[in-house]
Structure 1
Amino acid sequence: MTLGPMILKYLKNHPEIWQDIVDALKKVIVRRAADPGELLKTIAALREQVVYLLDSADDDGEVVQAEAWSRRLDHLERVAKLLVNEASKHEVKELREQVFALRKEIIEAFVIEQVEDAAERRSLK
């Protein structure tokens, strides 16, 4: 991830936020050799994060991005369901790489949004 130093400092100073983020990210940690069934679980957890991002979007750009991720997750979910019972190693590897690449994008945005939302809540107190 390419989290900026300011975000990392904020998380270090607010461990309660860090724990919430860690708990959410544990759901999307997958073994390198994950099969389509495991990838479906990761896709479902990523969908939760995208729903959060959509609900807490601050502008149209964030809405558009979250909707694009949702569509990509829909596509990956359909592919994973097709591959659950019968797939070549190559097909599973390709699906895994696509899920992992999307996971990276979503996690980065999720962490940043969590920090922004927490900072906003603190400033409202």
Structure 2
Amino acid sequence: MAKLGSLIKVAAMAGPTVWKVVQAMGPTITKMRRDYPEAFAAVEKQVGRLAGSRSAGKGPEGLRRRINVLRDQTTYLAVSADGAAEVRRVEQWRRQLDKLEASLPLLAAMGKTAARREANRIGERIDALSAEVLNAYIEERRDDAELGR
């Protein structure tokens, strides 16, 4: 099992927003590592996937990979949702991810400068969603581990 320090290094590769979430959730993640190693391993895997997808580049395919990682996390959150509010929040994230993914083909129709600017904007929105979704994912994994799910 990896140490928290190595997880923070991987989180840094996933981008500043993911790194901030992992850093802020440090005490929770440390407790998970100690008490719920399977939940910690799941979080570690998702942070690694975020880092790997970010290294795929800023083009449409790299952005699509990042969206797919978040989509997988929202699938877990939807399945383990404990109430209507959580379900609505996950549905909202999914709609946002769908809109971002639908905008990717438009990049090819734009000029180079406009496409780069729009890809950066999409990447920033994915970063913001990554922070929200990863934070919820970590909390839900912890809650499920504490409940023995």
TM-score of the two chains, using structure 1 as the length reference: 0.85
- Cα separation, 2, equivalents of 1:59 and 1:108: 17
Q: Which has the higher contact order (CA 8 A, sep 6+)?
A: 1
- Cα separation, 2, equivalents of 1:84 and 1:70: 23
CA distance 1:9–1:28, change in 2 (3 Å): closer
What is the CA-CA distance between 1:50 and the residue it aligns to? 0.5
For 2:33, the equivalent position in structure 1 comes to: 12
Equivalent position to 1:56, from 77, 80, 85 = 80
CA-atom RMSD in angstroms: 2.1
Aligned positions, number: 121
What is the CA-CA distance between 1:11 and the residue it aligns to? 1.4
1:3 aligns with 2:22: no
Gaps of 5+ in 2: 1-20
Amino acid at match of 1:25: V
Gaps of 5+ in 1: none
Q: Which structure is higher in helix share? A: 2
CA distance 1:81–1:22, change in 2 (3 Å): farther
What is the CA-CA distance between 1:68 and the residue it aligns to? 0.2
1:74 aligns with 2:81: no
Assess if the C-alpha contact under 8 Å between 1:43 and 1:73 holds in 2.
Answer: yes
1:92 aligns with 2:119: yes
Query: Is the deviation greater in 49-58 or in 23-32?
Result: 23-32
- Cα separation, 2, equivalents of 1:103 and 1:85: 27
Assess if the C-alpha contact under 8 Å between 1:37 and 1:84 holds in 2.
Answer: no
Amino acid at match of 1:23: K
TM-score of the two chains, using structure 2 as the length reference: 0.72
Aligned-pair identity (%): 30
What is the CA-CA distance between 1:23 and the residue it aligns to? 1.0
- Cα separation, 2, equivalents of 1:38 and 1:25: 16
What is the CA-CA distance between 1:4 and the residue it aligns to? 6.7
